[in-house]
Chains A and B, each alone.
Chain A
Amino acid sequence: MANMPQDVGKEAIQTKGWIGAHKWLILRRISQLGILAAFVAGPWFGLWIVKGNLASSLTLDTLPLTDPHILLQAMISGVTPETTAIVGAIIVLVFYALVGGRVYCSWVCPVNMVTDAAAWLRRKLGIRGSSHASRSTRYWVLALTLILPLITGGIVWELVNPVSIMFRGIVFSMGLAWVLILAIFLFDLLVSRDGWCGHYCPVGAFYSLLSNRAVVRVAATNREACDDCMDCFNVCPEPQVIKPALKGAPKGIGPVIVANQCTNCGRCIDVCAVNVFQFGNRYSNQSSSGLHSAKAYSKHTV
């Protein structure tokens, strides 16, 4: 029996309690806000834990972290970065290649809180209808962000990138950044479900490419228990990734969600009243051929 989108998680709250049905969401918010707090502790309270912003930062004056997507754009426009920037980018690349690239989206990116809020309100208000842009649009936008520096010689995307503009707005100064944030909220609420993060954002697209070999993955380990309530599909920002893992048993696919667009947000784990999902690793799939066909399957459904 399929549940209505506005009732996502109700059953899970009944069986697991509110905390149990929001465990990963709470952890993600702690992660996102904690990262923000580490950045603003310096300018607000003089407690310098991290300097800079998501583009490039220095933690405790020792650990450099650099956004590989932005650094790549700079290098395409003809820059030779300092060693610290390259080391920082490699650390970030390796980390996300292991834990899943789009962990950046769901555990770090501040825009995620905005689009999650829009998605929540969209479900509660029962707003259906959605524009029909392809979810692969983001890869075209990603290509655009890498071509424009070549043509213009400047890092064009950073002039409009909502991720860095919002983060910089909070950590440095807001200016009119809130207008952009509001625009994304309204777009996701009224125009397109999961519009920004799920269709257009080239940052997410870049990080998803790092996920192709990621170890940490969500798995529908207990998929026989699925009662088709549809809560996971309703709550998931990339619902197309779930189907092969959850419903692929007859074809020998799954149960690990291998699609690189999965953000490892864990909301499917939270909202499932019968505990179908859990975090696992990508090697617990049925067979290597299963993994292979799951890829084909998820590609087909995109």
Chain B
Amino acid sequence: MAKSDKGKKSVSRRQFLTTTLKTACSVGIMGVGLGFYTQRANALPPLAIRPPGALPEEDFLGACIRCGLCARDCPFDILFLGQLGDDIPAGSPYFIARTGPCEMCEDIPCVAACPTNALDHSLTDIEKSRMGLAVVVDQENCIAFQGLRCEVCFNVCPIRGKAITLDMQHNVRSGKHALFIPVVHSDACTGCGLCEKACILEKAAIKVFPTDLAKGELGHHYRFGWKEKEKAGKALVTPDVKHQYNLPAGVRYDLQGKGLIIDSKIDESLPDSPFSTNPLDTLNRKPEDK
């Protein structure tokens, strides 16, 4: 009796181990699958912009519990949650600047509503938020580049005159007009997208992109000579030897400035000059004079 009990027990232990191992393996495979799916599913399309104060995307996906409270507390109802089937991680909040930009509420209700700090509560000044960066992506279609007065993006910008400035340039086409080129400054642009919404084109020429997509990055070894000079307070290389030019008397050359300079006070009555200053004298010379 005791023996058969023992036998029964070992069978059930074997069964237990097999079941456990099977389960563990299948769940493990499921985990690997989920991991790969996550990598794919977590790629955010560039036109989907996270709300103000959102942590960097990787941290955000660990912090956002997909409760939608930010979307509920947005007074302009611009925030959507990613749906299953979208390219946006399911349930995570985003807005599309062209159809519904962030209106930059001073009290930032979306951040206040976030229970997990996925929208960073240390953000108290909406002008310090960096949802993305506006970029004048299409200089061929932006009518400012054609010399037309538009400036709509400049005028709707909530940080007017700082995030977008107008850069006056010469209009080569007409030769006598100016171009007022919109230029975005990353030190002030919040990426709210009001400019993209307001752009008068069929498709916006200025678009908000995620900051890391919009910004380039200088090689870390790179140094600008003039900045280094300013920092050091003196030239860091041996100064150039003064250039010498063999030029006629009364003519000078300014290398980094005006170029060739002919002094107006050239002595016109120099006796040993073979030429008269009046070209007609040369033309009217008689053959015997040669």
Measured CB to CB, the residues of A under 8 A from B are 42, 51-53, 55-58, 64, 66-67, 70-71, 73-74, 77-82, 84-85, 88, 133-134, 136-137, 140-141, 143-144, 147-149, 151-160, 164-165, 168-169, 171-177, 179-180
**Assembled-state Cα–Cα distance A136/B24 (Å):** 10
Other-chain residue from B23, B59, B113, B117 in contact with A81 (beta carbon distance below 8 A): B117
Tell me if A71 and B23 are in contact (CB < 8 A).
Answer: no
Tell me if B91 and A78 are in contact (CB < 8 A).
Answer: no
User: If the complex has contacts A154-B42, A154-B62, are A172 and B71 also in contact, measured as CB distance less than 8 A?
Assistant: yes
Tell me if B27 and A141 are in contact (CB < 8 A).
Answer: yes
Q: Does B100 count as interface, using CB distance less than 8 angstroms? A: no
User: If the complex has contacts A168-B91, A173-B80, are A156 and B65 also in contact, measured as CB distance less than 8 A?
Assistant: no
Tell me if B61 and A160 are in contact (CB < 8 A).
Answer: no
**Assembled-state Cα–Cα distance A70/B28 (Å):** 20
Closest chain A CB from B78 CB (angstroms): 14
In the complex, the chain A residue whose C-beta lies closest to that of B64 is A155
B20, B38, B113: which has the most chain A beta carbons within 10 Å? B38
Give every chain A residue within 8 A of B66 (Cβ-Cβ).
53, 55, 70, 155, 158, 164, 168
Give every chain A residue within 8 A of B37 (Cβ-Cβ).
159-160
Measured CB to CB, the residues of B under 8 A from A are 19-20, 22-24, 26-28, 30-31, 34-35, 37-39, 41-42, 58-59, 61-69, 71-73, 80-81, 83-86, 89-91, 113-118, 121
Tell me if A159 and B90 are in contact (CB < 8 A).
Answer: yes
Other-chain residue from A66, A133, A158 in contact with B23 (beta carbon distance below 8 A): A133
In the complex, the chain A residue whose C-beta lies closest to that of B85 is A176
Tell me if B62 and A155 are in contact (CB < 8 A).
Answer: yes
Tell me if A53 and B27 are in contact (CB < 8 A).
Answer: no
Give every chain B residue within 8 A of A160 (Cβ-Cβ).
34, 37, 90
Other A-B pairs beyond A79-B63, A140-B23, A153-B59, 18, CB < 8 Å: A51-B72, A71-B65, A77-B62, A78-B63, A79-B116, A80-B117, A81-B115, A82-B117, A84-B115, A134-B20, A134-B22, A137-B26, A155-B66, A156-B38, A164-B91, A171-B68, A175-B86, A180-B84
Tell me if A165 and B90 are in contact (CB < 8 A).
Answer: yes
Tell me if A174 and B83 are in contact (CB < 8 A).
Answer: yes
Tell me if B27 and A137 are in contact (CB < 8 A).
Answer: yes
Tell me if B27 and A67 are in contact (CB < 8 A).
Answer: no
Tell me if B67 and A154 are in contact (CB < 8 A).
Answer: no
10 residue pairs, one from A and one from B, having the closest CB atoms: A175-B83, A77-B62, A176-B85, A56-B67, A85-B115, A154-B61, A140-B27, A55-B67, A79-B63, A51-B72
**Assembled-state Cα–Cα distance A168/B72 (Å):** 13
B64, B71, B84, B117: which has the most chain A beta carbons within 10 Å? B84
Give every chain A residue within 8 A of B80 (Cβ-Cβ).
173
Other-chain residue from B24, B34, B39, B84 in contact with A165 (beta carbon distance below 8 A): B84
Give every chain A residue within 8 A of B89 (Cβ-Cβ).
159
**Assembled-state Cα–Cα distance A195/B10 (Å):** 29
Give every chain A residue within 8 A of B81 (Cβ-Cβ).
168, 172-173
Other-chain residue from A82, A137, A149, A159 in contact with B62 (beta carbon distance below 8 A): A149
Tell me if A56 and B65 are in contact (CB < 8 A).
Answer: yes
In the complex, the chain A residue whose C-beta lies closest to that of B116 is A81
Tell me if B83 and A176 are in contact (CB < 8 A).
Answer: yes
Other-chain residue from B65, B91, B117 in contact with A67 (beta carbon distance below 8 A): B65
Tell me if A79 and B117 are in contact (CB < 8 A).
Answer: yes
In the complex, the chain A residue whose C-beta lies closest to that of B118 is A79
In the complex, the chain B residue whose C-beta lies closest to that of A58 is B69
**Assembled-state Cα–Cα distance A128/B82 (Å):** 38
Closest chain B CB from A48 CB (angstroms): 8
**Assembled-state Cα–Cα distance A109/B123 (Å):** 35
Give every chain B residue within 8 A of A80 (Cβ-Cβ).
117
**Assembled-state Cα–Cα distance A81/B38 (Å):** 23
Tell me if B90 and A158 are in contact (CB < 8 A).
Answer: yes
**Assembled-state Cα–Cα distance A155/B41 (Å):** 12
Give every chain B residue within 8 A of A55 (Cβ-Cβ).
65-68, 91
**Assembled-state Cα–Cα distance A173/B26 (Å):** 32
**Assembled-state Cα–Cα distance A30/B85 (Å):** 31
